[in-house]
């Protein structure tokens, strides 16, 4: 693996665990100095320490993506960590809950839309101050394309992410900043254990059935991994994608084609 991001600074939101941690680990392996930005600062520090122990460069900052005041302190945190501006911004922080479409509550709607949509808006606004040649990648979901009867609020929030990618790709292009998305399908993280439990309960099935059915529906026959998603993110941030903006790569084993 080449260290193509040597001396570049990358920030990944929601990077203390799951897909975000996979992205941060890959970018560090690619040579980037990585900021682990998460609402859970102790877990963010633990993740940064793991990267540093493996020979990378990483620091942790506390960031609540739904709070504008949290972003107002971000530049100072970045400068304190690495002494320079950001080059890459990965908008990964997100939440998902499951509920039948007809039973979704206003509180559930607000929580998911706040983190996934509002959080992406504020993240992209913060990324707008990066220098020319920088790049933004937002983590969307194939459910933003497909919808689903057990997560309409999540699907709506990820459709909003895809829309924001297009809007900010246009808005930031004159400043030389590219904006793209990666849309994963099922990804094997600890959070999927909870997702399986909730989905199985909603469907009246035994635990494990929802997960097995979901994997069986994937053309490539397996769940994705954080490393699969991270590889696509690394490509979109890199100069190999220098003529790509406003696009979305589906990392889903063939669930969504073209």
Catalytic residues: 154
Own/partner long-range contacts of 214-220 (Cβ < 8 Å, ≥24 apart): 214/186, 215/186, 217/255, 218/185, 218/186, 218/252, 218/253, 218/254, 218/255, 219/253, 219/254, 219/255, 220/253, 220/254
Q: Which helix (H) or strand (E) holds 154?
A: helix 152-172
In angstroms, rounded to a whole number, what is the distance separating the alpha carbons of residues 119 and 160?
A: 11
Handedness of CA 139, 5, 245, 125 (dihedral sign): positive
What does the block give as tokens for 207? 């635990």
In angstroms, rounded to a whole number, what is the distance separating the alpha carbons of residues 195 and 185?
A: 13
**DSSP conformation class of 131:** P
């Amino acid at each position: 693996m080449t260290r193509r991001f040597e001396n570049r600074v990358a920030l990944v939101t929601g990077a203390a665990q799951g897909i975000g941690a996979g992205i941060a680990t890959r970018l560090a392996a690619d040579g980037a100095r990585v900021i682990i930005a998460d609402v859970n600062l102790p877990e963010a520090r633990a993740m940064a320490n793991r990267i540093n122990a493996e020979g990378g460069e990483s620091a942790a900052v506390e960031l609540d993506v739904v709070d504008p005041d949290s972003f107002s302190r971000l530049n100072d945190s970045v400068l304190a960590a690495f002494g320079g501006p950001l080059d890459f911004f990965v908008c990964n922080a997100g939440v998902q809950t499951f509920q039948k479409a007809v039973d979704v509550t206003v509180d559930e709607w607000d929580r998911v839309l706040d983190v996934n949509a509002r959080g992406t808006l504020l993240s992209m606004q913060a990324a707008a101050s990066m220098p020319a040649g920088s790049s933004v990648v937002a983590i969307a979901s194939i459910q933003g394309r497909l919808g689903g009867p057990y997560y309409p609020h999540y699907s709506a929030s990820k459709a909003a992410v895809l829309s924001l990618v297009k809007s900010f790709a246009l808005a930031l292009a004159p400043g030389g900043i590219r904006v793209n998305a990666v849309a994963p399908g099922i990804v094997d993280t600890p959070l999927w254990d909870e997702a399986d439990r909730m989905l199985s309960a909603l469907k009246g099935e035994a635990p494990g059935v929802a997960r097995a059915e979901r994997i069986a529906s994937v053309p490539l026959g397996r769940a994705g991994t954080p490393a699969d998603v991270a590889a696509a993110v690394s490509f979109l941030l890199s100069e190999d994608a220098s003529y790509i903006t406003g696009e979305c790569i589906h990392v889903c084993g063939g669930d969504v084609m073209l």
